[in-house]
Each structure stands twice: as C-alpha cells, then as structure tokens.
Amino acid sequence: MNFVFPGFLWALPVLAIPIIVHLFNFRKTTKIFFSNTRLLRQVKEETTQKRKLKQYLVLAARLLFLFFLVMAFAQPFLPAREERPAGRNITIYLDNSFSLSAPAGENLRGLDEAIAKVREIIQVFPLETRYCLITNDFAPFSNSFKTRAELDDLLSQMRLSPLSRGQAEILQRVPAESRDVFWVSDFQKSTLAPAPPDSTLFIQLVPVALQRVGNVLVDTVYLENPLVVSGERNRIHVRFRNDGDKAIDALVAKLTLNEVQAATATLAIPAKGTAETEFDIASELPQRNTARISFNDFAVPFDNEFYFTLNFSERIRVSEISTTEAPTAIEKVYGNRDLFRVRSFQTGNVDYSWVSQSDWVVLNGVDKPDAALVAALTAYVANNGSLLLIPGTSPDIPTYQQLLSLPALKKVEGAAAAELQTPDYKNPMFQNVFEERVTNLKMPMAKKLLDWGNDRSALLAWRDGSPFLSSVGRRYVMASPLTAGFSDFSAHALFVPVMYRLAAWGKRQEQQPYYAMGDHTITITADSLEGEEPVRLSGALEMIPPQRRSAGRVVLEIPKFSMGTGYYYVLYQRDTLDQLAFNLLPQESRLATYTAAEVKEQMGGGKNIAPFDALTAEAFADDLKSKYQGRPLWKYMIIAALLFLLAEVALLRMLK
C-alpha cells in the first residue's frame, strides 16, 4: 500500500491526545459525606469496573477515529497492476456493427454500452495521450491520432454500421506508432474468426455483454425459375432461420412488390432450425421490380426487412453455329425478339466477339469444328458460358471429345429410331412446363448417333435408359442430329419448352437478385456506353463508385462506406442500366458470442493478450482504474473514521 500524501502520516502522534486525556482526568472531583458509607462503598466498586470498560471502549473509538482520519488525508492506495503508457499512443477498436443494436440491458443497446466503456478508457490515461479510433466503417478519422476531447466528440456522433470486419482486417489498420490496442466488441462468433496476432501488439479484450435473445433472419431468397419466359408462372422461395433457443410458432412474413403488399405467409420455425415458405408471383411484372420480405422480430429489429429485385425482361443472347445458310430449327425456336437476341453464323464466318458475349451458344450439325472454333468455344465455356452440341450426320468423335471433355463419347452405327421416355416431372427442366402430368404423352422418335454411357441425371432419355440429352457441367450434348432422317424432336411440342429452358439456364446471371454489404464488385451488362462519363449509383445517396469497362460490361466496386441497405439504381446519363438491392451480411444476424477468455485462447493465449472480465460499464471502470491507476482507499478511510466517531457518540450516550 502506498500513499499519495505520505507527509500527513506525521500527524499520527495526535493519537497520544486521547491517551493523555484518559490517563489524566482533568475533571475536579467533589467530596460528598454520607452518614453510612457501607452501602456507598459497594456501589463504588461496582460502577468503577463499568466506568473503566466504558472508558477503554471510548478510548479505542477515539484512537481509531483519529487514525483513519489521518490515513484519509494521506490518501492510501493499492499500486496499479500495469504501468500507464504515459506519452504513448493508444489504438481503440470500437465494434459498431448492427449486432450491437441488440439489448445489453434495460433500455440500453450494446453500442451504448461499448461507447461508455471507450469513454472510461480515455479517462484513465494522462491528458497528453493520443488515441486512434477504428470502427467498422474504416472512416477517415481513423487515419490520425486524436486528443481526448476530439475522441469524445467522435463518440457522440457514433452510429451503427452495416459492415462487419474480421480480426485480420482490423489489426491491419492499427498504426505502427501504436502498440497498445483496446478491442471493444461483442466478439460475435460468426464474424470474428480469431487467429494469433502480431506478438508486438498488446491487445486488451473488452467484452460487451448482450442479453441472450433469439433472432429470426432471412437466410436465402431465390426464384424457382431464374428467368421468366413465355408467360410462365414463377414462385419465390424464402428460407428463414431461427437463431434462438425457443421455437417460433407463428411468424407472419409479408412479400411487398413495388411497394404494394402482394402476399403473406405464416410459418413455424424450430429452435436453432430453418423453415421455408413460398410466394407465387405473376409473370406480368414490368421490366424492373423492387421486392421486400418483412416480418416482426421485436428483440432484434435491424434485420426484419430483406431487399431483393426481380428483373425479368433482359433478352438472352443466343449464337448458333451451323454449316447452312437456310434457317434452322434453332434459329426459328429462338425467333421471339422480345425474349432473345439470336444470330446465326456459318463455320467459316463466325463473329467470335459476339459469341464470347453470348449467354447461350448452339453448335448445330457441324461434323468437324476447326481448331480455332474449338479453342474459342473452350475459352467461352471456361468463362462461365453455356454450350449445346447437336451432332452432324458424320461427327468427328475426337474433336467432340475434346470440345465436351467427354472421353467416353463414341459413335453408334445403324441404330433404329426409338421413342423417348416420358420426362421426369420432378426434374427442374420440366417444372411449370406442363399443366397436367400426363403419363401416356406421345414422345418424339430419334436414332441414336452418339453414346456416352449411362447417365441417370439425363434431361431426356430413351425408354431403355440411354441418354438423349445430357449436361456435362455447362456443356450440353444431344445424341441425335435434328435432321428429319434422325429425329423429329424439332417438330415435337416438347422442343420449344426444352430449348427455352436450356437458354434460360444458360443466361449469365451477372446481376443477382440481391447483394451483401460484404461483396466487393458488381458486373453490369452495358454494351452501348459512349464517352467517358462514369456510371452512377443512386439510392439514399447518389455516388460515383470506382469502375472499369471491359467487353460490353462495367465492373463497379461497391462503395461500402457510403451505402446502406435498400435499393440502388445504376444510371448512365439519363438511362437506367440496372437496379440493385443490398442487405446486411447474414452472419451479422447470428448473435452467438465468445467470452473474452475464449477469444484469448483462440488468439493463441499469449501474454500480449489480456481479457477483461467485467461486463458492465461500471464494473469495467473499477477494473480499469485498479489496473492502471491503482485502487484508492481514502474513501474507505473516511467511512471507517465516521463509523468510529459514531461509535464513540453511541458509547457516551447509550452505555451507562
């Protein structure tokens, strides 16, 4: 124990005063004479013992009162466990992600608790200490050190951020001039990913304890058909996740299309489980549509809305490569100009730039593609393109094997025409194609020219089970030519929906229904941009993101620091190129957390990592002060002095 003002200890000789008073009673005594002293002598013997006990107790109370009073003026304290980094810079990471909007107490958010703890930190250190404040936004103010007053002003403006950061990202932002780091966070399991840090950093883990509440979130939203064609019905599938320990019996979910409520659904979700619901949508929607799933989850409301877009009417680019100038069945089936942009090329006159930007390429009836065409188509498929190979009447098998990456491919001689079997209605290829599931449907006839072995996942097959139409990754192969002598498939009613569905699957979905705030880039199809004017994003704010143009596309870097959740339009001059929807990362809604001790263990448990156990701001303040300032004891000394003063008064008044 040390003293702030040890000079006051010279006042301890004042303790001799009560002793002197006790030893030399300065009160004058008065003699009283009685006629009979026998009884008086007996009373005197009894009261003298009681008087001595009372005097000793009063003496002890006075001595202790004076002792603790002197000690209070000397201000004793227990020494600090750590040396304060006087004159050094300190880095503070404040987690302001949306998970900190969860309650940390009655009418108290986790972010408010975190800010209170940061304020306690800056009050402990000397006034000349400078601080670097890092938040999830990686805002410009984190690039310089601030005074206590400047940092306090920044804390008063602190807001929740839609961004989540991992440990590696945060530690990379720590300035080289600062080796002391206070990490104030809820230590969310889904986003933290602890790992051993730089051993030169001294990291102090400050936990923000959130109340254990369940949370419901939208896990996935997807369309049953990625593209609406030919007036088909469609359906939105929504998967909800319950992150709590209690089951949800009746969650009401609403679908809003273009700011008009379109449907509702009620579902039950087991604890720590998922549940899925569906919403039917009409096919007569306009070109671009905003959609939103909303529900009520009162404990954690920040993720109660999920945004996405439904953009259906972009035409599919189709390239056909054949050996004839006459219109083919492929060119005719994709003749709907509202849905397709189709171009047919002969093998000697192929526009490879158009082919490379196509969504769907059909190599139709070419017996032996030349090396340049094979190389171009191989590069196209490698770039996420989709290719259908319809064989010619005299196919070159080695070339086909190379193009399809199908070594088992072989030619079949003299096969007779046979009927295809009824399609599997459970196959996604045929969902929503037939109004009724007919078992005796008249199927097309075809002669097998190519064979590649058994394929239980074939899209179409003969009745003996051998495949007629199969997929090999993003490559599709047909076993027979479409010429009249080999197959009547192109004249059958099944031909149109099959070819439409294949083209829809081949559509390059560069624009997704929704994006997360953690995504880095977005690719927009824009083949008619002229000049140097940049593409803009317009939503709650209008901004010009970093961008680059390449082969009819614009790659936009997502300006995470300026954006929030919701809808944004991609604008070029006066034209709207696309519409985007942004949501929080789903990991942000998973509220399970580590304790500070668990984080230290996962960081390697080194001596440079120190966890705080205090959860509330008040307990943390006491722990922090005892660590860096020591524990002052003068308050306890004053309390003890007052207690002994009261004891003296009580002894004098109450003890007879």
Give me the sign of the Cα torsion angle 537, 542, 547, 549: positive
State both tokens at 177: 């001039």
Task: Say whether both 576 and 598 belong to one domain.
Answer: no
Instruction: Establish if 230 belongs to a structural domain.
Output: yes
Examine residue 263 and state whether it is found in any structural domain, yes or no: yes
Are the beta carbons of 145 and 89 closer than 8 angstroms?
A: yes
Domain containing residue 482: CATH number: 3.40.50.880
Last residue within a domain, chosen from 506, 530, 560 = 506
Write the CATH number for 601. 3.40.50.410
Same domain, 93 and 160: yes
How many folded domains does the chain comprise? 5
**597 lies in the same domain as 573:** no
- Any idea what DSSP says for residue 394? S
Q: Give the pLDDT confidence score for residue 199 in this predicted structure.
A: 83
Structure tokens, 392: 């010619």
Residue 84 counted as domain residue: no
CA nearest to 168, candidates 519, 574, 596, 603: 603
State which of 305, 332, 362 marks the end of a domain: 305
CATH for 264 = 2.60.40.10
pLDDT, position 134: 93
Could you give the C-alpha distances from 474 to 182, 211, 223, 544, in angstroms and in order? 50, 48, 20, 35
One domain, residues 183 and 247: no
Asked if residue 634 is part of any domain, the answer here is: no
The dihedral sign for the CA sequence 436, 440, 445, 448? positive
Are residue 477 and residue 344 in the same domain, yes or no?
A: yes
Per the domain annotation, does 310 fall within a domain? no
Cβ proximity of 62 and 648 under 8 Å: yes
Q: Are both 341 and 396 inside the same structural domain?
A: yes
On whether residue 461 sits in a domain, the answer given is yes
The pLDDT value recorded for residue 294 is 95
N-to-C CA span, the chain: 40
**182 bridge partner residues:** 92, 204
pLDDT at 35: 63
Model pTM?
0.64
Q: Are both 394 and 493 inside the same structural domain?
A: yes
Which residue spans within 4-124 are E strands per DSSP? 76-78, 89-94, 103-105, 108-109
Nearest Cα to Cα of residue 229 among 316, 126, 359 = 316
Residue found by looking up tokens 């209605």 in the block: 425
- pLDDT of 238 reads 93
Same structural domain, 207 and 220: no
Does one domain contain both 338 and 221? no
Please identify, among 264, 285, 305, the residue that sits at the C-terminal boundary of a domain: 305
Which segments of the chain have a pLDDT < 70?
Answer: 1-4, 25-51, 77-87, 225-233, 283, 312-314, 428, 431-439, 508-511, 527-528, 551-552, 629-631, 655-656
Same domain, 27 and 117: no
Is 223 found in the same domain as 203?
Answer: no
Residue given tokens 């909800």 in the structure block: 240
Query: Looking at the domain assignment, is residue 311 inside a domain?
Result: no
The range of the structural domain enclosing residue 192 comes to 89-211+591-629
CB 387 within 8 A of CB 361: yes
Order of strands across the sheet with 130-134? 130-134, 89-94, 180-185, 202-207, 609-611
In a domain, 201, yes or no: yes
The pLDDT, as a whole number, for residue 605 is 84
Residues 6+ apart with CB under 8 A from 48: none
Q: 193 and 292 in one domain?
A: no
Please tell me the number of Cα atoms within 13 Å of 523 on its side-chain side: 9
